[in-house]
Amino acid sequence: MKLLIDIGNSRVKWARSEPGRYTFGGAFATDASSLAGACESQMAELPRPEAVLVSNVAGARMGRLVADWASARWAVPVRFLCSEASAMGVVNAYPDPARLGVDRWLGLIGAWRMHRDACCIVSAGTALTIDLLDGEGRHRGGVIGPGLSLMRTALTSLEALAGEVESGNDFFCNRTAPALSSGILYSAVGLIRESLGRAARLLATEPVVLLTGGDAAMLRPYIEGPVQLVPHLVLEGLHAVAERSP
């Protein structure tokens, strides 16, 4: 068994990787003050893993806290994944491959493992990232926007909008709170729709849409056409790497 850990900006998610399958274990907040305690609470009873594979986009301190805990608990190797020029059939579009976020890279690997076809990966988390993968496994680049919570935080910092949180059923609203929610939601929806349209024109085919991240379920009703919800796409990618690793 290998332990997979995905350290995101808001949440840490983990899973057990075994030959042919992985099992989601749980999630907790990415909070330095409680990180070691949360690891201990959720993972201490696991059997000793052969190795720990980590995706980390939350900064060096968070990575160090997780690695220190795992090393102290089991004295096993802790491997931090990095984006590469190519791996497992996927070719990175970035001139400097390491500049692509490792979560996006692992999402591409996970998507290719699942479909082996053109994919548009929409990750709705702290940031809203959309990456395009063609039918030959080539990453064609991506686009990054603010996620729903990040937009809300930015807008509610304005004095006139402070504290306004209320959803509505209409696009045009007659009160500030639902108007704010509508604007945030459809800003994200608009970016997704534009990206999918451009992706189809670029590839001359409709790519499979994979939707992942904490806000995936909220956005799903607003995306037209077939969409596959993949709750833990980064863990899918980590599992693919773990199966190829000694």
CATH number of 117-231: 3.30.420.40
pLDDT band at 174 (very low <50, low <70, confident <90, very high): confident
167 has a pLDDT exceeding 80 = no
Residue pair 97/41 in contact by the 8 Å Cβ criterion: no
Report pLDDT for 168: 60
Q: What is the pLDDT of residue 112?
A: 97
pLDDT for the residue 3: 98
13 labelled ligand-binding? yes
The domain segmentation of the chain, as residue ranges, is 2-80, 117-231
Question: Are domains 2-80 and 117-231 of this chain identical in fold?
Answer: yes
Task: Check whether 9 is labelled as a binding-site residue.
Answer: yes
- Are 86 and 93 spatial neighbours (Cβ–Cβ below 8 Å)? no
**So what's the pLDDT on residue 200?**
97
Residue 126 marked as a ligand binder: yes
Q: From 2.40.420.20, 3.30.420.40, 3.50.30.30, 3.40.50.300, which CATH number describes the 2-80 domain?
A: 3.30.420.40
pLDDT of res. 139:
98
Say whether 7 counts as a known binding-site residue. Answer: yes
Q: What pLDDT, in 10s, does the model give residues 89-123?
A: 999 999 999 999 999 999 999 999 999 999 999 99
From 31, 103, 131, 134, active-site residue: 103
SS3 78: strand
> Which are the contacts of 129, defined by CB distance < 8 A and separation ≥ 6?
101, 104, 121, 122, 123, 142, 143, 144, 145
pLDDT at 220: 96
Token representation of residue 116: 């082996």
Q: Alpha-carbon distance 19 to 46, whole Å?
A: 17
The pLDDT score that the predictor gives to residue 69 is 97
Give residue for tokens 């692509």. Answer: 100
**103 catalytic per annotation:** yes
- For residue 161, the model assigns a pLDDT of 60
User: What local confidence, expressed as pLDDT, does residue 154 receive?
Assistant: 85
pTM across the whole model: 0.94
6 in a known ligand binding site: yes
Number of residues that this document lists for the chain: 246
Measured CA angle at 230 (ends 144, 104), to 5 deg? 35
Separation CA 135–CA 89 (nearest Å): 11
Q: Give the tens place of pLDDT for each residue, 154-166.
A: 887 765 565 555 5
Query: Is 188 within 8 Å of 150 (Cβ atoms)?
Result: no
Mean pLDDT of 223-246: 94
Distances in Å between the Cα of 222 and the Cα atoms of 193, 216, 225 are: 9, 10, 10
**In 3D, which of 130, 158, 131, 155 has the Cα closest to residue 219?**
130
Q: Is 101 annotated as a binding residue?
A: yes
How far, in Å, CA of 211 to CA of 221, rounded? 11
pLDDT digits 0-9 by tens, 44-61: 999 999 999 999 999 999
